[in-house]
Chains A and B, each alone.
Chain A
């Protein structure tokens, strides 16, 4: 291995917060060589992005403070340089791309202008930068690069925007590229394309690539070496095969064990009574048709997963069932009544039996209501469910049922972690004793270990209370562990449906097979096999 080009030595960073100083990273060491892919793996709050932000001079001081350490780039300590000297390194020598390219691109300037700027501020003449921008956009695989340069960020899809970010980062051929969760917001097939693009560009330019991720699958797919961080400390370093095959640290062992996609798959659930029968459901916004006739059966106590990429219409299905949007056509029979045409008064009664849990519990729980108020609000709307004197006890019961403490009822949502908030959202849904809970990406925003806990909770509640789930997700391993049957959607149509075993072990449609092949597995060996399969399919 050649000398490292970038080396972080003994770095400790503290942030002053309202609740006192928080040590974000403690004595972190890592190094990156040219031509190498290093992954930093960690859950939210592990401090995995902090050292990269320190490299880029993105830590605001105050509230941040660098307590100790060096960041050596080609042997020179970045932390001893002036801001002006560091600005000369940011861009031409070390570049960075981020999660969520929509918010990281400036909405009011064309993408062409933004890429040009990266070159112009470091001395490239404007005309040359303009020409190079078009080249770059072509190189990262955007169709019609000349036209693309004149467009604004909101006119691209998520994957295209990340390509724009990559073009911008690579404009000056940096020696190091830092990618902070570069594919987290993207669909699985787009994720696979972006990772392949990064790999290809890295091979071509010989730069060092640092990938910061929470996803073991990304590590298995792309990394040469991996460091695992927990609570601001590096707990383990090794190759992906070492980390996955023989994790040394207890934290890493737990993390690997929690990765979804390895559990027992459910067997078919034939012969149960149908709860909801949707037939030929369509939805159009003006001229734009988003659903073209969806058939869907949900049986009592069954978990039906709807998988598909963004824009496939999977969330629209949920909105039609809850009548948050009205269907353009079709029927949805619920106990012999059509949900789509039911009068408002009756709908209110049915809504009691159909509850929702949303993706982001931070946004879906009112921050100014206590947990008790959030849960008992359901009974204000449906007063016949429970007499008021019993509310207090029932809230305590529900909180215990979802694995929280009864005295949490007095607290407010911001006092809980993401996983706990999702438990509160589930308790709220349970308050009305529903027969169907619609989970719209309900576990996507959670860390792997928390995700596994919430899934176990949902499964247990489903069994105990005979609740059916409509589980909308893009994460296939989670679906594999949790669902009884699977509906695969694409562009407003059902591509394939069947019991979970059939969909995962023996998919019939090419689209489903593509989806399976694009999904990342934490096991580097499995991942290598999938990569071969993917290349065969492309060839």
Chain B
């Protein structure tokens, strides 16, 4: 197991190295970095100063070496907007995204697993019909539209909930709810399908012949077997949220990494963009590692 984690870490470090290189050369490929950093109407004098200051007149390989050195020291540069180290800015935002993603995924998982399992136990029953109907709507609803409609109804209309910010628990309800809908619909469908398979399996027949009651059959015998595909989709959805729930964060003015990235791109805060790319890449690597470990935990036949 330890060996596996070490191997995966090395493999991920190599991927990260390629990402670092790609980011540097792509930023150069798209043209003069001064265009990237400075406003369109910057004067020639400002541009020349900027070049001199940032060593952009040096040969490209020398610039690359300097860039690699910065990366190795986790020095992504300074945010143009806040004049703080870019990494600190990103980590600050990332904390918010992490909590948002975690809270949402906990709700999604609990709700989808319980409802999906019960729906699968009685396929075609009333619960199954209702759950399937709403999960299909949820999985296909556009979140920017739901977010706006939710603001119109609950914040503007009833005045129950704040429209944006993070001040109190009330601020979290709308972002979490909107973020909840799509993964919930998707994962519920996966749980239901996977559970129908598991409940039809031979070992469930054995459990029934032993006299096991329906509830332990669902949650002890079938569910653990049915969880592998569910964990895969859950990981995929969680990775999407860690990347920044861009739309939801932007609409609700939530200070997460998604909103930070959009703002930084609009303001040409290249150092912050770079740091955000690296932080989310590392987060997704950790995420995937956790999924692989979850596989081994769920299924004793999987050993690394």
Contacts and interface: CB of A to CB of B under 8 A. Distances in A.
Contacts of B203: 103-107
Interface in A218-275: none
A58 B301 contact: no
A121 B210 contact: yes
Contact of B211 (A88, A98, A100, A106): A88
Nearest to B297: A108
A107 B205 contact: no
B213 interface: yes
Contacts of A152: 300-301
Contacts of A86: 211
A514 interface: no
A317 B132 CA distance: 50
Contacts of B299: 107-108
B210 to A, nearest CB: 5
Given A58-B208, A118-B210, 18 more contacts: A56-B208, A90-B208, A90-B209, A91-B209, A98-B202, A98-B206, A103-B203, A104-B202, A104-B206, A106-B206, A106-B207, A106-B221, A108-B224, A121-B211, A121-B216, A152-B301, A154-B300, A165-B206
Interface string B182-222: 00000000000000000001110111111111001000010
Nearest to A62: B124
A104 B205 contact: yes
B146 interface: no
Nearest to B212: A121
Interface in A87-118: 87-92, 95-96, 98, 100, 103-110, 117-118
A518 to B, nearest CB: 26
B124 to A, nearest CB: 9
A103 B201 contact: yes
Task: Give the residue among A56, A89, A108, A122 with the most B Cβ atoms within 10 A.
Answer: A108
In order of increasing CB-CB distance, the 9 nearest A-B pairs are A90-B211, A91-B211, A103-B202, A106-B203, A87-B211, A96-B209, A104-B202, A152-B300, A104-B206
A168 B210 contact: yes
A98 to B, nearest CB: 7
Interface string B276-304: 00000000000000000000001111000
A377 B225 CA distance: 39
Nearest to A95: B209
B258 to A, nearest CB: 37
A92 B299 CA distance: 29
Interface residues on A, range: 20 to 34
A107 B210 CA distance: 16
A433 interface: no
Contacts, number: 72
A121 B201 CA distance: 21
24 contacts: A58-B205, A87-B212, A87-B213, A90-B208, A90-B210, A91-B211, A95-B209, A96-B209, A98-B202, A98-B205, A104-B202, A104-B203, A104-B206, A105-B206, A106-B203, A107-B203, A108-B225, A108-B299, A109-B224, A121-B210, A121-B216, A152-B300, A154-B301, A168-B210
A103 B207 CA distance: 12
Contacts of A154: 300-301
A107 B225 contact: yes
B129 to A, nearest CB: 16
A525 interface: no
B298 A58 contact: no
B230 to A, nearest CB: 14
A154 B202 CA distance: 15
Interface residues on B, range: 20 to 34
B205 A89 contact: no
Contacts of B208: 56-58, 90
B198 to A, nearest CB: 10
Contacts of A165: 206
Interface in B105-144: none
Nearest to B204: A106
B100 to A, nearest CB: 32
Contacts of B221: 106, 109
Contacts of A103: 201-203
B303 to A, nearest CB: 11
A503 B211 CA distance: 48
Interface string A52-88: 0000111000000000000000000000000000111
Contact of B300 (A57, A107, A121): A107
Contacts of B206: 96, 98, 104-106, 165, 168
A515 to B, nearest CB: 29
Contact of A122 (B202, B207, B211): B211
A45 B266 CA distance: 69
A91 B210 contact: yes
Nearest to B301: A154
A106 B222 CA distance: 9
A117 B205 contact: no
Given A106-B221, A108-B224, A121-B216, A92 B211 contact: yes
Contacts of A56: 208-209
Interface in A103-145: 103-110, 117-118, 121-122
A107 B226 CA distance: 11
Contacts of A110: 300
B203 to A, nearest CB: 4
A96 B202 CA distance: 12
B209 A106 contact: no
A57 B213 CA distance: 12
Contacts of B216: 121
B56 to A, nearest CB: 54
B65 to A, nearest CB: 44
A108 B226 CA distance: 10
A90 B213 CA distance: 11
A57 B298 CA distance: 30
B211 A108 contact: no
A146 B221 CA distance: 23
Task: Give the residue among A90, A92, A106 with the most B Cβ atoms within 10 A.
Answer: A106
Task: Give the residue among A86, A118, A154 with the most B Cβ atoms within 10 A.
Answer: A118
A58 B209 CA distance: 7
A268 B49 CA distance: 99
Nearest to A88: B211
A90 B211 CA distance: 5
Contacts of B300: 107-108, 110, 152, 154
Contacts of A107: 203, 225, 299-301
Nearest to A105: B203
Contacts of B205: 58, 98, 104
